[in-house]
């Protein structure tokens, strides 16, 4: 079985000494997240985040004119900007590795002019600030990640097995994932290995899979280059990670994991007109939202009881069913799987087509673009798709006898990042409430981030609208009734839920049992959403 250390057209990771030399060179050159930001300055760094290279290029050219140019300008120019550099520049900037070492690792290739070289890959600094608490490595330490060059660095059509780098989706999943310590973790569709970086901070062992051999070659290179920070023994890497080639869950059939994460290639692409053959790296080769459906239905089989999975995805919503968008997802879910799905955005078929045709960055001729656009619309129409939803999915293989958790909600406003710790707390609150035999005996207090907002007409005696707002986590807003507002105002931990409800019933002259039952039900929801916190749980 291949160890993916020498995959054609991917960086090579067999030579441990050479990788260590490169890491030392990059660190000495200050080619780190903070080092690059300081070198470029705020404006040029911000432009680079937008894939605008010119300000950074000007900074590199200015540095080349300095009496003693800083070494950092060369790796920035080479890997971030895709510019050609000379052998003497490379040897001076990265003296341990040198030009020949970079060629041996597959990080550069010869330029058209003799004695010049250009990047064969994108190699950039990365920091793992995701709110995790693992002890492996430095939580905010300097790491480096290789991936394929983007179209802004090397114009042209991306290869079918293009290996994506650090994008907004991968960062979102990293911030979304709950970072509790686990034994075995699965990174399904690893790409260049970003999620494995994060998982190794709190998992004893990570299995990373991908349908692309090149992706696994990039992943192994990245893990081995950053071995000390990720607590990997270069002589025995299998103690910390395993790489598997294959589609979806096939490579791990019959195995069980405590945690699975996936940023799958979920983009919906028409399977006609050649479009479906161009973008395996982003659609996984399946039609419609089939790849998300397959994972939602199948992940339970590779999870231990109580094991969880977190993933990103999009899903088709039939025309006229926008208010009932969760129905298709519920059909995919096995009976024994808990689910919490947060829909963050929806797009119409034309909007979806425009976004992904723009993402392809192919500079097509007008007629070719029009044909591709029409292909998207015809594909969606063939399945009566009205909109496409985007969001995140948290799944859990339910333990026998546990209360089912099924939650589907739209949250389109900005939320706190990383949100993983808040999702973890919310799930633990659900489990606590499910196990609570009598909420009336519990003492509650208002969470520290919660504020109250009142609106009333000028001159009105009482507010017409009272809102409870969260300043942290998912930043929900709850519309309050008069009695629920009174209840929350009394939640300082002194009185039990039952005592406060009884006092409000007497004050409002509502002795009927239904009043207390309805109020406790509303209180339960406030606990689940984190507005109210039990004194002990």
- Segment 267-281, tens digit of pLDDT: 898 866 554 455 555
Q: Is residue 61 part of a domain?
A: no
Quick one: which of 454, 515, 451, 511 has its CA closest to 483?
515
Q: Is residue 63 part of a domain?
A: no
52/345 Cα distance (integer angstroms)? 26
Q: Is residue 273 part of a domain?
A: no
Residue 3: both structure tokens together: 């160890």
Residue 118: both structure tokens together: 């250009």
Tokens 């808040």 found at: 422
381/387 Cα distance (integer angstroms)? 11
Q: Which residues contact 81 (CB under 8 A, 6 or more apart)?
A: 53, 56, 57, 60, 153
**Distance spanning both ends of the chain, measured CA to CA:** 48
* Residue 428 DSSP label: H
| Domain total of the chain | 1
Task: List the beta bridge partners of residue 117.
Answer: 85, 110
Q: Is residue 265 part of a domain?
A: no
Counting every residue written for the chain, the total comes to 537
- DSSP states of 58-89 as a string? HHHHHHHTSSS--TTHHHIIIIIS---EEHHH
**CA atoms within a 13 Å half-sphere pointing along the CA-CB vector of 409:** 11
- DSSP states of 331-380 as a string? HHS-TTEEEEEEEEEEE-HHHHHHHHHHHH-----HHHHHHHHHHHHHHH
Q: Is residue 447 part of a domain?
A: yes
523/501 Cα distance (integer angstroms)? 10
Determine how β-strand 465-470 pairs with β-strand 477-479. antiparallel
User: Model confidence over 242-298: pLDDT tens digits?
Assistant: 999 999 999 999 999 999 999 998 889 886 655 445 555 556 567 789 999 999 999
Q: Is residue 417 part of a domain?
A: no
Give mean pLDDT in consecutive 10-residue pieces for the chain, a chain of 537 residues: 90 98 97 96 94 94 92 96 95 97 98 95 85 41 91 79 91 96 97 97 97 97 97 97 96 98 90 55 71 96 98 96 95 97 97 84 72 92 96 97 96 95 96 94 97 92 93 96 96 96 95 95 97 90
Task: List the beta bridge partners of residue 205.
Answer: 184
359/150 Cα distance (integer angstroms)? 11
Domain containing 484: what range? 436-534
The answer to whether 357 touches 372, Cβ cutoff 8 Å, is yes
The CATH number given to whatever domain includes residue 530 is: 3.90.930
Q: Is residue 493 part of a domain?
A: yes
Per-residue confidence (pLDDT) for residue 2, from 0 to 100: 77
Q: Is residue 201 part of a domain?
A: no
Per-residue confidence (pLDDT) for residue 273, from 0 to 100: 53
């Amino acid at each position: 079985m291949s160890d993916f250390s020498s995959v054609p057209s991917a960086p090579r990771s067999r030579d441990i000494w050479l990788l260590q030399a490169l890491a030392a060179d990059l660190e000495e050159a200050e080619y780190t997240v903070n080092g690059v930001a300081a070198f470029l300055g705020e404006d040029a760094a911000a432009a680079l985040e937008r894939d605008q290279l010119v300000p950074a290029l000007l900074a590199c050219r200015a540095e080349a004119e300095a009496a003693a140019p800083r070494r950092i300008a060369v790796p920035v120019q080479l890997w971030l900007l895709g510019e050609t550099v000379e052998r003497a520049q490379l040897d001076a900037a990265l003296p341990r590795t040198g030009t020949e070492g970079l060629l041996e690792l597959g990080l550069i290739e010869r330029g058209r002019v003799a004695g010049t070289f250009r990047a064969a890959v994108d190699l950039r600094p990365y920091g793992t600030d995701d709110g995790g608490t693992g002890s492996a490595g430095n939580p905010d330490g300097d790491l480096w990640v290789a991936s394929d060059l983007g179209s802004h660095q090397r114009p042209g059509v991306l290869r079918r097995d293009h290996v994506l780098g650090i994008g907004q989706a991968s960062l979102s999943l990293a911030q979304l994932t709950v970072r509790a310590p686990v034994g075995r973790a699965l990174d399904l569709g690893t790409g260049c290995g970003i999620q494995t970086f994060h998982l190794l901070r709190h998992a004893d062992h990570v299995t990373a899979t991908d349908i692309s051999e090149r992706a696994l070659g990039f992943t192994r290179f990245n893990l081995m280059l950053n071995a000390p920070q990720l607590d990997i023994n270069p002589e025995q890497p299998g103690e910390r990670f395993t790489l598997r080639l294959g589609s979806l869950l096939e490579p791990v059939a019959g195995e069980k994991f405590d945690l699975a994460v996936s940023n799958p290639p979920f983009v919906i692409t028409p399977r006609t007109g050649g479009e479906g053959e161009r973008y395996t790296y982003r659609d996984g080769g399946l039609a419609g939202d089939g790849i998300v459906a397959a994972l939602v239905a199948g992940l339970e089989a590779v999870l231990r009881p109580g094991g969880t999975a977190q993933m990103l995805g999009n899903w088709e919503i039939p025309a006229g069913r926008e208010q009932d968008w969760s129905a298709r997802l519920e059909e995919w879910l096995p009976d024994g799987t808990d689910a919490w799905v947060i829909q963050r955005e929806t797009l119409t078929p034309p909007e979806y087509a425009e976004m992904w045709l723009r993402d392809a960055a192919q500079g097509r001729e007008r007629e070719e673009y029009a044909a591709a656009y029409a292909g998207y619309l015809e594909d969606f129409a063939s399945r009566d798709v009205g909109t496409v939803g985007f969001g995140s999915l948290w799944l859990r293989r339910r333990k026998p006898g546990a209360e089912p958790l099924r939650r589907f909600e739209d949250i389109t406003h900005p939320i706190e990042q990383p949100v993983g710790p808040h999702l973890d707390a919310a799930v633990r609150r659900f489990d606590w409430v499910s196990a609570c035999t009598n909420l009336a005996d519990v003492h509650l207090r208002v969470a520290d981030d919660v504020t109250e907002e009142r609106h009333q007409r000028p001159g009105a005696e009482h507010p017409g609208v009272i809102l409870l707002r969260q300043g942290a986590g998912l930043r929900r807003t709850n519309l309050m009734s008069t009695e629920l507002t009174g209840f929350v105002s009394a939640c300082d931990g002194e009185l039990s839920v039952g005592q406060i409800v009884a006092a409000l019933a007497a004050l409002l002259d509502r002795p009927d049992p239904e009043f207390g039952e309805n109020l406790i039900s509303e209180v339960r929801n406030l606990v689940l959403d984190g507005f109210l916190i039990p004194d002990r749980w």
